[in-house]
Structure 1
Amino acid sequence: MKNPGPPGDLFLASTSSARKALMDGLGLPYRTEAPGVDEHVPAQLSALEAVAMLAVRKARAVHERHPDAWVLGADQLVEVEGTTLGKPHDRDAARAQLGRLLGHTHAIHTGVCLVGPGGHLTQAVETTHLTFFPLPPEELERYLDTGEWEGCAGSYRVEGQGQALLAKLEGDRTNVQGLPMLPVVRLLRQAGFAFFARP
């Protein structure tokens, strides 16, 4: 029986190396493209609403340029004690963010959205809870020296040296890395993508 193959070209609306590594693991052919969107959202939105809105905005932006393709968009925010943390703009901001996370539990929310031909749009939001060890100031500075905080909501990467910050993780680890693969696979299967295709 012939494998039906994918329903069309697939784009990941992101150039994140962590997201690309997770997508590569699926073995599906896809391309990446930066969405290039305004990431501002209304202040009254919750973190869950914000990541859902931005994932849709990113997927739609790339889909407008490739209307016959399927586009997967994602966005991530860190939430601690009701406050949302995005990407730090410099080392001082990263130090302040990590200072709020160390010794405490926080949530990571990632919104994913799959947009396809004919107005297809499905989405999901995944949440993972993490608890960090408390660190003395000199150890925090050594972590900041790694530069892993750059471009990361919450100022850390669990796929790198940041995993040494983790005391506890509840939920999907891939969600923390930027792309929750459980809902991603579900959305792709619902859209008719075939896995384990022969070359």
Structure 2
Amino acid sequence: MTAASAPAARLRGPFVLASSSPRRRDLLAQIGLVPDVIAPSGIDETPRPRELPAALARRLARAKAEAVAAAHPGALVLAADSVVAAGRRVLPKAETEAEARACLALLSGRRHRVHAGICAVAPDGRRAERLVTTVVAFRRLSEAEIAGYLATGEWHGKAGGYAIQGRAALFVRFLAGSYSAVVGLPLAETAALLAGLGYPVPWVATNGC
């Protein structure tokens, strides 16, 4: 986590979420936070050559936050990115059934990691960021189960080709870390990060208040 060492003043001004993800909006609402503005960054999310999954999640969260902060001066901007990794391999946000099928076949019967990068930029330019890694293990999936899941359409646009908050919950035999991070946003870490910058979060002590 990086931030200026000086105590943070209680933040005023709009709260901007640099994401169009309805899952992230719902997760924030779950802890009593409602963004004033939804502003997707539109940045290129293509991994760099030989870029490791955790580094990719960090870089994209930071790039999204900084891009949106530049367009919304005086606001507190929160950005996040989730990367599903099988070893050193970054799995795509599945756009076709073939992509989703390949992801599920790869994840079947093995553990994988979900790296969630979060970054916030305060109105005065201070930045704070975290990386949260969760280990998820799928049981072995049959061809019929994969085909049945593909028919739901839940996989579309999801990193790794699945949505843990949906029917893919049936595939998970083990999880170590943050469930909400796998859904889209690690709530405990996000709340602490925002409070550390001085933003009022229900039930969380705010730095400088």
Task: Classify the TM-score, shorter chain.
Answer: over 0.9
Letter in 2 for 1:26: I
* Cα displacement (A) at 1:7: 3.1
Match of 1:27 among 27, 32, 44: 32
* Structure 2 residue 12 is the aligned partner of structure 1 residue 7: yes
**8 Å CA contact retained: 1:79, 1:107:** yes
* Cα displacement (A) at 1:5: 6.9
* Cα displacement (A) at 1:38: 1.2
Residue number in structure 2 paired with 1:147? 153
Looking at structure 1, the residues matched to 80 and 201 of structure 2 have their Cα atoms a distance apart, in angstroms, of 21
Looking at structure 2, the residues matched to 183 and 43 of structure 1 have their Cα atoms a distance apart, in angstroms, of 29
Residue number in structure 1 paired with 2:114? 108
Secondary structure, counterpart of 1:118 in structure 2: coil
Equivalent pairs counted in the alignment come to: 194
Looking at structure 2, the residues matched to 16 and 177 of structure 1 have their Cα atoms a distance apart, in angstroms, of 11
* Cα displacement (A) at 1:33: 1.6
Q: How does 1:18-97 map to 2 (within 5 A)?
A: 18-30=23-35, 31-97=37-103
Secondary structure, counterpart of 1:92 in structure 2: helix
Letter in 1 for 2:105: G
Q: Tell which deviates more after alignment, 97-106 or 79-88.
A: 79-88
Secondary structure, counterpart of 1:76 in structure 2: strand
* Structure 2 residue 127 is the aligned partner of structure 1 residue 121: yes
> Cα distance 1:90–1:68, how it changes in 2: closer, same or farther (>3 A)?
same
Secondary structure, counterpart of 1:100 in structure 2: helix
Structure 1 segments, 4+ long, off by >4 Å, are none
* Cα displacement (A) at 1:25: 1.2
Unmatched 5+ residue regions in structure 1?
none
Secondary structure, counterpart of 1:145 in structure 2: helix
* Cα displacement (A) at 1:135: 1.4
Looking at structure 1, the residues matched to 145 and 50 of structure 2 have their Cα atoms a distance apart, in angstroms, of 36
Q: TM-score, normalised by structure 2?
A: 0.88
> Cα distance 1:11–1:190, how it changes in 2: closer, same or farther (>3 A)?
same
* Cα displacement (A) at 1:139: 1.3
* Cα displacement (A) at 1:180: 0.7
Looking at structure 1, the residues matched to 136 and 34 of structure 2 have their Cα atoms a distance apart, in angstroms, of 32
Looking at structure 2, the residues matched to 57 and 137 of structure 1 have their Cα atoms a distance apart, in angstroms, of 38
Looking at structure 1, the residues matched to 123 and 30 of structure 2 have their Cα atoms a distance apart, in angstroms, of 25
Secondary structure, counterpart of 2:16 in structure 1: strand
* Structure 2 residue 21 is the aligned partner of structure 1 residue 16: yes
**8 Å CA contact retained: 2:25, 2:34:** no
> Cα distance 1:156–1:94, how it changes in 2: closer, same or farther (>3 A)?
same
Looking at structure 2, the residues matched to 14 and 153 of structure 1 have their Cα atoms a distance apart, in angstroms, of 15
Unmatched 5+ residue regions in structure 2?
1-8, 204-209
Residue number in structure 2 paired with 1:186? 192
Residue number in structure 2 paired with 1:175? 181
Over residues 130-172 of structure 1, what are the superposed CA-to-partner deviations in whole Å (9 max), with x where a residue is unaligned?
A: 1111111011100010111111110001111111111111111
Secondary structure, counterpart of 2:46 in structure 1: coil
